[in-house]
């Protein structure tokens, strides 16, 4: 199955430019997740609402930040990131450890529009 882009206020704020990445553990090359990166620049954090797969990680944006565990490679048990709230946008995210992941660009199917009610930045805090 080819994933779809999410199109909302955050994507538009960054110029509408997005790409999908397969995120891998740098240590053992195990695939961890698929992520939608909006806008230019380096990948410093993974916004929880931009994780496309696997399902258990896509559901993290709906729970309180205090109940989210660290992102750990299921194969080699390396720590990849810690959860936090990005204060500038009040969005839940994983702060990546430098050199912990590698990324590979992947293809997309089409853009899907996210309903406005799902964009609340203050829910589940």
What contacts 22, CB < 8 A, 6 or more positions away?
31, 33, 34, 103, 104, 105, 106
- pTM here? 0.76
pLDDT band at residue 120 under the 50/70/90 scheme = very low
Q: What gap in Å lies between CA 22 and CA 63, rounded to an integer?
A: 23
Q: What are residue 61's phi and psi, to 5 degrees? A: -65, -15
Residue that wins the pLDDT comparison between 120 and 10: 10
Residue 117 has pLDDT above 90, yes or no: no
Residue that wins the pLDDT comparison between 2 and 41: 41
pLDDT band at residue 15 under the 50/70/90 scheme = low
Query: How many other CB atoms sit within 10 Å of the CB of residue 92?
Result: 25
86 phi-psi bin (left φ>0, alpha ψ -120 to 50, beta other): beta
Q: For all residues of the chain together, what is the average pLDDT?
A: 82
Q: Which of 21-25, 55-59, 69-73, 106-110 has the lowest mean pLDDT?
A: 106-110
């Amino acid at each position: 199955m080819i994933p779809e882009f999410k199109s909302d206020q955050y994507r538009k704020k960054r110029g509408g430019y997005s790409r999908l990445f397969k995120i891998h553990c740098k240590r053992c090359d195990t695939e961890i997740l698929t992520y939608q990166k909006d806008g230019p620049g380096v990948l410093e954090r993974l916004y929880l609402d931009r994780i496309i797969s696997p399902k258990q990680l896509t559901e993290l944006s709906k729970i309180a930040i205090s109940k989210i565990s660290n992102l750990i490679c299921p194969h080699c048990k390396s720590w990849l990131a810690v959860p936090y709230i990005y204060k500038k946008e009040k969005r839940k995210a994983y702060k990546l450890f430098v050199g912990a992941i590698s990324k590979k660009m992947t293809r997309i199917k089409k853009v899907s529009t996210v309903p406005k009610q799902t964009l609340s930045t203050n829910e589940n805090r």
